[in-house]
């Protein structure tokens, strides 16, 4: 398992001005380690990223996920359907990769970035698609058209992420009482199923977004684009709703 080494930088903004993390932006440094790390830590750069991954596969963290790194730069002729005109730094996590545009990743660098993407997807509920995992060139197609460049392993990365992270069906349960219902539902649905449990305050874990479709068993509707509510006002009503779905 990879490890993250804290490096820090003065180049960041505290918190995210109320925005939620929704996407990952991948970059190439166009410079070598350790010079590129030193530059991202230099106040004169006025630039940073949350993470830097070296060719040797080291992962440095410069900015906490909860804070805003300065990696997106100036938005110029963007090609990103989620762009709403506001500063993309506020809602994204930036990952820098050591190398020149066009460089083929070393296997160590590829495995490190795959691992980090998985961690961030799980932690922040980032959907695995090309609107939520993007290259810098999508934000600035004019001056950053080479970031992260033609060597970036998009196809392999998406293939590996989809094979290991996303599931077709998710089942969100309210608590242990719902588990039998959820289990029956899971067996009926088939292979690609994950069961998520609400936190003690009733809110769902962000990882529910990694499911393409979500059954909500117990509790009210949640923030998910494709959900089916199988719940009633109490436990009996929830069991009945699931039973109806299963044809009992
Ligand atoms: Zn970039």
Tell whether the model's pLDDT for residue 59 goes beyond 80: yes
Distance 162 CA to ligand 1 centre (A): 24
Complete DSSP assignment for 180-200: HHHHHHHHHH-SSEEEEE--T
Mean pLDDT of 164-170: 75
Reported as a single tens digit per residue, the pLDDT across 175-190 is 888 888 899 999 988 7
Distance 46 CA to ligand 1 centre (A): 13
Write down the mean pLDDT value for the chain.
Answer: 93
More confident residue, 192 or 106: 106
Distance 171 CA to ligand 1 centre (A): 37
The closest alpha carbon to 110, from 148, 62, 65, 64, belongs to: 148
Q: What percent of the chain has pLDDT over 90?
A: 69
Mean pLDDT of 79-105: 97
CATH class name, domain 4-164: alpha beta
Distance 145 CA to ligand 1 centre (A): 9
Q: Return d(Cα 231, Cα 174) in angstroms, integer.
A: 10
Tell whether the model's pLDDT for residue 1 goes beyond 70: no
Tell whether the model's pLDDT for residue 141 goes beyond 70: yes
Distance 206 CA to ligand 1 centre (A): 27
Reported as a single tens digit per residue, the pLDDT across 199-227 is 999 899 988 877 889 999 988 899 888 89
Q: Return d(Cα 107, Cα 190) in angstroms, integer.
A: 34
Q: Return d(Cα 100, Cα 198) in angstroms, integer.
A: 44
User: Can you read off the two tokens belonging to residue 154?
Assistant: 């998009």
Distance 122 CA to ligand 1 centre (A): 23
Is the separation of the CB atoms in 235 and 247 below 8 Å? no
Distance 71 CA to ligand 1 centre (A): 6
Within the chain, strands assigned E span: 4-6, 12-13, 23-28, 51-53, 59-61, 68-69, 92-97, 133-135, 167-173, 193-197, 211-217, 227-230
More confident residue, 159 or 79: 79
User: Can you read off the two tokens belonging to residue 62?
Assistant: 């410069």
**Third-level CATH fold of 167-246:** Rossmann fold (3.40.50)
More confident residue, 140 or 168: 140
Tell whether the model's pLDDT for residue 122 goes beyond 90: no
**What does the domain layout of the chain look like in residue ranges?**
4-164, 167-246
Is the separation of the CB atoms in 94 and 27 below 8 Å? yes
- b/e burial code for range 83-92 (CB count within 10 A of at least 16 → b): beeeebbbbb
Edge-to-edge strands of the sheet including 92-97? 4-6, 59-61, 51-53, 92-97, 23-28, 133-135
Distance 201 CA to ligand 1 centre (A): 38
Tell whether the model's pLDDT for residue 43 goes beyond 90: yes
Local structure of 137: helix, strand or coil: helix
Block residue for tokens 């029956």: 184
Is the separation of the CB atoms in 71 and 89 below 8 Å? yes
Asked if the peptide bond before residue 34 counts as cis, ω within 30 degrees of 0, the response is yes
What was the pLDDT predicted at 165?
56
What was the pLDDT predicted at 66?
98
Rounded to 5 degrees, φ, ψ at 208 are: -55, -25
Count other C-beta atoms under 10 Å from residue 150's C-beta: 10
Distance 207 CA to ligand 1 centre (A): 27
Reported as a single tens digit per residue, the pLDDT across 109-121 is 999 999 999 999 9
Distance 229 CA to ligand 1 centre (A): 41
191 falls in which pLDDT band (50, 70, 90)? low
């Amino acid at each position: 398992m990879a490890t993250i080494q804290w490096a820090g930088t003065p180049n960041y903004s505290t918190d995210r001005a109320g925005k939620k993390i929704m996407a990952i932006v991948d970059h190439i440094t166009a410079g070598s380690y350790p010079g590129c790390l030193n530059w991202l830590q230099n106040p004169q750069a006025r630039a940073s990223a949350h993470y830097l991954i070296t060719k040797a596969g080291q992962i440095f963290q410069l900015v906490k996920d909860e804070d805003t790194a300065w990696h997106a730069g100036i938005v110029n002729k963007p090609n990103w359907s989620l762009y709403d005109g506001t500063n993309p730094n506020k809602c994204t996590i930036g990952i820098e990769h050591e190398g020149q545009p066009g460089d083929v990743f070393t296997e160590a660098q590829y495995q490190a970035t795959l691992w980090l993407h998985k961690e961030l997807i799980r932690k922040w509920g980032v959907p695995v698609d090309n609107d939520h995992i993007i290259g810098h060139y999508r934000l600035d197609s004019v001056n950053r058209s080479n970031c992260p460049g033609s060597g970036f392993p998009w196809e392999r990365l998406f293939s590996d992420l989809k094979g290991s992270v996303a599931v077709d069906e998710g089942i969100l349960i309210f608590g242990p009482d719902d588990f039998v219902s959820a289990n029956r539902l899971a067996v009926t649905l088939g292979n690609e199923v994950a069961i998520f449990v609400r936190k003690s305050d009733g809110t769902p874990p962000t990882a529910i977004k990694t499911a393409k479709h979500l059954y909500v068993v117990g509790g009210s509707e949640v923030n998910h684009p494709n959900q089916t509510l199988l719940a009633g006002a109490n436990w009996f009503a929830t069991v009945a709703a699931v039973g109806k779905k299963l044809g009992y």
